[in-house]
């Protein structure tokens, strides 16, 4: 185990070295760079594939994930996650709050139902990590990470703990590399988003359905739909546009069986709560005709040049640099508009750009906690059946999965994650993982099961098996300083020092 002085020394090493790393051989550098940006870091399989296929062929296959079959073992393990198979309606029926009795809601029964429903978030978290660690469709999973943050939903809010897995599986992953307009609508219609940003309560004042909590306009979703999801904060809209979009979105909400409205995976449009007056939105008159108004508004938002700029900047920031080159962003905007928001086409332009492939941007992005934890497990070749230590580490590092409270999602910039406390926690994780002390190969505990107590002193202790530092050195491109530091360490600490190095903190 690395003592306090060892951790402090490693922390100082990382803090002083994270400012910049030496360049490496161009062909090897580009392979590792691509795996660090389009995948969650290299593992033995992905590095072998990119070397055999070549960088451009590997990228093209990643842009078409259907051409990459999932391993049978991964598919079988995903298939055992029962709640991942159910849609939003089924999840509510099986795990939703109990029906009210004659005396009103039973607080204890509601609390017990919520505890029981914890399996949904746990299985969604397991599925996300399984795919991120093991799936050959790495770019698809990277884009799930990107788009989920862009269209963030906070699982602990109300009923969203029931729908978070279905939201990712039905509204995000299928559209991650497709047309932005389709992705925008999928998120706009999902009960998780409608509940999180309160549009399920959005009702035209004075309409037949205006009663109780649904007695007036709710502007939350309309504002975030423009500010975060599409146009951006400098997208040229006004408060009048927010109000107009909120009016357009009245009645756009969650199905309620007692009302007898047609349901699409829990979504329903209620004309009794809709404002049928004409609206002036973004300089266009939208006649009051019902649900079709929302389709027109989404068309305007998806095809706006402001949306193209906002999303092109976000993609360039995620894949290239915290402050992306303006010329690259401009080319991405042009491609976005010409392709009608085809995400695959925009990414193809981005990945072929000299800005993306420049040695100057290699190792320039600091890994988020999710990226760091997943890349460490991938590099170590660790078999994972117990995901709780990984989820706990991400939470302690400030990025609990599905746990971002605000709708802007987690940041992906260096300033958001590089600080002494976080680095100390990362080095602690690297030490535990590298030395083989994380119980990742144990059974996954039940949702409400406490961690097992430490073994009694009289019980024989099986010494942990450290990760193979030779495997890491062969897989990763390490600076001379990191190699020298690892070589000088005791064998049980070599892997830990590599995973806690500045080389591995960046991507």
Q: What percent of the chain has pLDDT above 90?
A: 84
pLDDT band of 459, cuts 50, 70, 90:
very low
pLDDT band of 19, cuts 50, 70, 90:
very low
Give the range among 162-171, 228-237, 359-368 with minimum mean pLDDT. Answer: 359-368
Give the range among 5-9, 228-232, 318-322, 345-349 with minimum mean pLDDT. Answer: 5-9
Average pLDDT over residues 399-409: 98
> Within 13 Å and on the Cβ side, how many CA atoms surround 107?
0
The whole-number pLDDT of residue 25 equals 58
Contact 177, 65 (CB under 8 A): yes
pLDDT band of 123, cuts 50, 70, 90:
very high
pLDDT of residue 18 exceeding 70: no
What pLDDT, in 10s, does the model give residues 144-191?
999 999 999 999 999 999 999 999 999 999 999 999 999 999 999 999
Average pLDDT over residues 453-470: 70
What Å distances lie between residue 157 and 44, 58, 96, 197, 407, CA to CA? 39, 40, 13, 10, 12
Q: Give the whole-angstrom CA distance, residue 273 versus residue 290.
A: 10
pLDDT band of 462, cuts 50, 70, 90:
low
Q: Where are the domains of the chain?
A: 64-100+107-196, 366-451+459-505
Average pLDDT over residues 471-485: 93
Hey, is 285 helix, strand or coil? Answer: strand
Q: Give the whole-angstrom CA distance, residue 320 versus residue 363.
A: 10
Angle (CA) 374 378 382, round 5° = 105
The full length of the chain comes to 507
What Å distances lie between residue 14 and 10, 22, 215, 495, CA to CA? 6, 14, 55, 15
pLDDT of residue 105 exceeding 80: no
Q: Give the whole-angstrom CA distance, residue 477 versus residue 475.
A: 7
Contact 244, 223 (CB under 8 A): no
The whole-number pLDDT of residue 457 equals 47
pLDDT of residue 235 exceeding 70: yes
Residue 507's closest CA among 4, 18, 114, 8? 18
> Within 13 Å and on the Cβ side, how many CA atoms surround 266?
28
Q: At what angle do helices 138-150 and 55-63 cross, to 10 degrees?
A: 50
The whole-number pLDDT of residue 20 equals 45
Contact 164, 91 (CB under 8 A): no
| First-to-last C-alpha distance (Å) of the chain | 27
Q: What percent of the chain has pLDDT above 70?
A: 92
Average pLDDT over residues 267-295: 98
Residue predicted with more confidence, 388 or 362: 388
Contact 485, 13 (CB under 8 A): yes
pTM: 0.92
pLDDT band of 453, cuts 50, 70, 90:
low
The whole-number pLDDT of residue 27 equals 87
pLDDT of residue 295 exceeding 70: yes
Average pLDDT, the chain: 92
DSSP 8-state assignment for residue 235:
S
The whole-number pLDDT of residue 258 equals 82
Contact 328, 334 (CB under 8 A): no
- Cβ neighbours for 474, distance < 8 A, ≥ 6 positions apart: none
Give the range among 66-75, 233-242, 456-465 with minimum mean pLDDT. Answer: 456-465
Residue 82's closest CA among 155, 166, 154, 140? 166
What pLDDT, in 10s, does the model give residues 247-257?
999 999 999 88
The whole-number pLDDT of residue 425 equals 97
What pLDDT, in 10s, does the model give residues 407-421?
999 999 999 999 999
Q: Give the whole-angstrom CA distance, residue 101 versus residue 506.
A: 55
What Rg, from alpha-carbon coordinates, does the chain have? 24
Angle (CA) 404 35 22, round 5° = 100
Average pLDDT over residues 36-61: 97
């Amino acid at each position: 185990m690395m003592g306090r002085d060892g951790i402090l020394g490693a922390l100082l090493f990382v803090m002083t070295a994270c400012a910049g790393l030496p360049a490496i051989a161009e062909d090897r550098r580009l392979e590792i760079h691509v795996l660090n940006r389009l995948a969650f870091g290299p593992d033995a399989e992905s590095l072998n594939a990119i070397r055999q296929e070549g960088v451009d062929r590997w990228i093209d296959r990643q842009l078409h994930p259907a051409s990459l079959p999932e391993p049978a073992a991964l598919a079988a393990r995903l298939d055992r996650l029962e709640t991942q198979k159910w849609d939003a309606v089924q999840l509510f029926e099986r795990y939703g709050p109990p029906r009210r009795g004659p005396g009103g809601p039973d607080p204890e029964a509601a609390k017990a139902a919520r505890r029981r429903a914890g399996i949904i978030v746990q299985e969604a978290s397991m599925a996300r990590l399984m795919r991120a660690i093991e799936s050959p469709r790495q770019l698809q999973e990277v884009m799930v990470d990107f788009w989920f943050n862009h269209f963030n939903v906070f699982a602990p809010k109300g009923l969203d703990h029931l729908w978070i897995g279905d939201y990712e599986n039905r509204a995000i992953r299928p559209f991650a590399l497709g047309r932005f307009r389709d992705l925008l609508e999928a998120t706009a219609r999902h009960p998780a988003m409608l509940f999180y940003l309160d549009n399920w309560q959005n009702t035209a004042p004075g309409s037949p359905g205006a009663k109780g909590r649904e007695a007036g306009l709710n502007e939350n979703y309309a504002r975030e739909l423009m500010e975060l999801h599409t146009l951006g904060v400098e997208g040229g809209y006004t408060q009048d546009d927010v109000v107009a979009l909120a009016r357009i979105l009245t009645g756009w909400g969650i199905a309620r069986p007692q009302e007898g409205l047609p349901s699409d995976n829990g979504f329903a449009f209620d004309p009794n709560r809709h404002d049928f007056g004409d609206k002036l939105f973004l300089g266009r008159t939208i006649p009051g005709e019902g649900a079709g108004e929302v389709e027109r508004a989404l068309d305007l938002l998806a095809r706006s040049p402001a949306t193209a700029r906002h999303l092109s900047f976000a993609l360039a920031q995620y894949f290239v640099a915290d402050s992306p080159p303006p010329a690259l962003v401009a080319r991405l905007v042009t491609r976005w508009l010409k392709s009608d928001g085809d995400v695959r086409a925009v990414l193809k332009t981005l990945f072929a750009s000299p800005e993306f492939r420049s040695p100057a941007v290699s190792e320039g992005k600091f890994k988020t906690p999710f990226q760091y934890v997943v890349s460490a497990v991938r590099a170590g070749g660790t078999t994972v059946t117990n995901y709780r230590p990984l989820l706990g580490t991400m939470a302690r590092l400030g990025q609990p999965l599905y746990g971002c409270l605000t709708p802007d999602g987690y940041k992906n910039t260096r300033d958001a994650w590089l600080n002494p406390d976080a680095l100390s926690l990362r080095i602690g994780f690297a030490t535990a993982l590298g030395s083989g002390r994380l119980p990742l190969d144990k059974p996954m505990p039940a949702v409400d099961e406490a961690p097992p107590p430490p073994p009694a002193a009289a019980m024989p202790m099986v010494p942990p098996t450290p990760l193979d530092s030779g495997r890491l050195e062969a897989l990763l491109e390490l600076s001379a300083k990191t190699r020298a530091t690892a070589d000088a360490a005791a064998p049980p600490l070599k892997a830990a020092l590599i995973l806690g190095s500045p080389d591995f903190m960046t991507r």
